[in-house]
Structure 1
Amino acid sequence: MALVDFKYFSPMMGMQMALSIILPENAQGIGVAGAAEESTAPIPALYLLHGTSDDQTIWARRTSIERYVSDKRLAVVMMTTHLGAYTNQAYGFRYFDYVAKEVPEVCARYFNLSRKREEKFVAGLSMGGYGALKIGLALPESFSVVGALSAGCDRLGILPDAVKSINSIEELRAKRDALSPMDYARGMQFFVNFGSPAEFERNDTDNLFCLAERAKDSGKALPELILRCGTEDTLALGPNRRFKAHLDALGIQNDYAEFPGVHSWEFWDEHIQYVLSRLPV
């Protein structure tokens, strides 16, 4: 596979942004067999999202994603939203529009990647799993398969208790000295992304539980939802189970399963392979 480090000026973000893109090749060197395919048709694409603390390079650094797609006619596009949670931030950047709308269009234009729903897929881990679910449920007409590994389904649930009763970013700033540095940092990240906890609870754009209800009510054909979580994952298991139950209650089909594992790259490296096996490429 070819690995492209692509930088361009993003009109959506108003600054230079970077993508890491894996593109299919026929000849790949010793030990890796490529698919003998010479089509000039647009290439199906998986948009692969990182988790908290990482960036667009991390999947290629911590997994064998390039090897896993070596026999497929599939591009893998990786980008960063920093700590922006794939969200049009309450106080900041339009990360959701950048990832879900601008990046696929840029890749279609520069790299001949497909614009067709049936050839566009999104997946991610942890915060990126949350982002993948949000993109798939919000834009079901644009993506046909969603993979969410150890997804951060409940953004409000992981907010420190000391912050949950705060009603504005101004109040958060005023209480800075009363909070631990970690609680203040997590609270500020939440407020910048989503606004107050009270606002988030009824937000059907960023709250996955509300968004799933809106997606169901839309009557649109929803993407295939694939969720995987580790049975020892103390961060994500409870929220994943609650979200699975919510999807079931709404009658939204989902491929949910739990396997031994924690919130780790060993788990994500293993289970991204199942997501890849479900892509129609």
Structure 2
Amino acid sequence: MAFLQVNYYSKILGMDRMMNVILPELSDHNPDWRNETLKDIPVLYLLHGMSGDQAIWQRRTSIERLIRQTPIAIVMPSTDLAWYTNTKYGMAYFDALSIELPQKVAELFPQISTKRDKNFVAGLSMGGYGAFKMAFNGDQFSYAASLSGALMGDPNFPERETWQNAAYWQGIFGDLNDFIGSENDVIALAQKQAATKQQLPQLYAWIGEQDYLYQMNQNTIPKIRDLGYNVTYETSPGEHEWYYWDKQIERVLEWLPINYQQEKRLS
């Protein structure tokens, strides 16, 4: 696999941005691949959480090793601390990542598929929220996975009472009293998409039972499922930690409709 650090210009944000990309290539690890294998490659957009950036999945997990023998591209962008949202302070991060970024990937990497059934998105914590949000808007992604996702959409989610730094949150989402039912509420977004009768994305969610976002997921996932979405929802002992996300990203790869090959031992 090739690992690329890509600097590019975002017209929407008006500034240079960076994405990290893992790209399949012919090597001793996959000598049976043919040229056709490396055309129309599936892609997984992998989103970071609040304390991360475009490099964090590469640094904290085994993602590159896990896909070494699987022809899939991984695109890892950054949203800074903007919650994959068109912020109230005028920076359209959501549009930059959900619309502009796939166009930039298609321009720079023509071997990566633009087909909906080969475009997937996943993320952790803030990125889990971002993954579902992207999947509920438009028809870019056919599969979306949330690991320990901050799936905000229930008016009674207890974490809301502990939010600190009101100015920061209002800069992202606006008046927090208007959050429910807004363009940033994942349940409202799912309702809007389901009402269009278009093909709905397949969803996966995992949350650790000791995670502070556990109750949020317990409240939100059934509401999304009731709208007609096919949701694979799993829980197990675990906290809001990379130890668990490193394990769960392999579960996501197994769930995706790709020919996932576990790493073989090579001499």
Question: Please, what TM-score do these two structures have when normalized by structure 2?
Answer: 0.90
CA shift digits 1:197-253 (9 cap, x unpaired): 1221220x21012112112111111111000111111x2101111111212332322
Instruction: Find out whether 1:276 has 2:250 as its counterpart.
Output: no
Change (3 A) 1:131 1:96: same
> Deviation string for 1:174-213 (max 9, x for gaps)?
xxxxxxxxx22xx22211111001221220x210121121
Contact 1:227–1:256 (8 Å) recurs in 2:
yes
Q: Which residue is equivalent to 1:11?
A: 11
> How many residues are matched?
253
Normalised by the length of structure 1, the TM-score is 0.85
What CA distance in whole angstroms lies between the structure 1 residues aligned with 2:210 and 2:30? 36
Residue 179 of structure 2: which of 190, 197, 200 is its match?
200
Q: How does 1:73-222 map to 2 (within 5 A)?
A: 73-112=71-110, 113-139=112-138, 141-154=139-152, 157=157, 158-160=159-161, 183-184=164-165, 187-203=166-182, 205-222=183-200
Report how far residue 33 of structure 1 moved.
Answer: 5.0
Q: How far is the alpha carbon of 1:14 from its aligned partner?
A: 0.3
Alpha-carbon separation, structure 1, partners of 2:188 and 2:181? 7
Once residues 210 and 150 of structure 1 are traced to their aligned partners in structure 2, the CA distance between those partners, rounded to angstroms, is 20
> Of 218, 230, 241, which residue of structure 2 is paired with 1:241?
218
Mapped partners of 1:190, 1:35: distance in 2: 50
**In 1: Cα distance, 2:226 partner to 2:19 partner:** 38
- Cα distance in 1 for partners of 2:240, 2:25 equals 32
Give secondary structure in 1 for the equivalent of 2:18.
Answer: strand
Question: What does residue 264 of structure 1 align with?
Answer: 241
Contact 1:12 1:94 in 2 (8 A): yes
* C-alpha separation in 1, matches of 2:170 and 2:141: 28
In 1: Cα distance, 2:48 partner to 2:142 partner:
20
Q: Distance in 2 between matches of 1:90 and 1:222?
A: 29
| 1:223 matched residue in structure 2 | 201
Structure having the higher Rg: 1
Offset of 1:98 from its aligned partner? Answer: 0.9
Paired with 2:253 and 2:32, the residues of 1 have a C-alpha distance of: 15
Moved more, 75-84 or 251-260: 251-260
After superposition, the CA RMSD in angstroms is 1.7
Instruction: Supply the AA of the counterpart residue of 1:252.
Output: Y
| Structure 1, unpaired ranges of 5+ | 164-182
The one-character-per-residue Cα deviations of 1:45-104 (angstroms, maximum 9, x if unpaired) are 100000011100000000000011111111100011111000111223111111111111
- Aligned mates of 2:218, 2:30 — CA distance in 1: 39
2:44 aligned with 1:46: yes
Shift, 1:160, TM fit: 3.8
Task: Answer yes or no: is the 8 Å Cα contact 2:206–2:233 preserved in 1.
Answer: yes
The equivalent of 1:173 in structure 2 is none
AA at the equivalent of 1:202 = G
One-letter identity of the residue aligned with 2:213 = A
Secondary structure in 2 matching 1:132:
helix
- Residue equivalent to 2:264: none
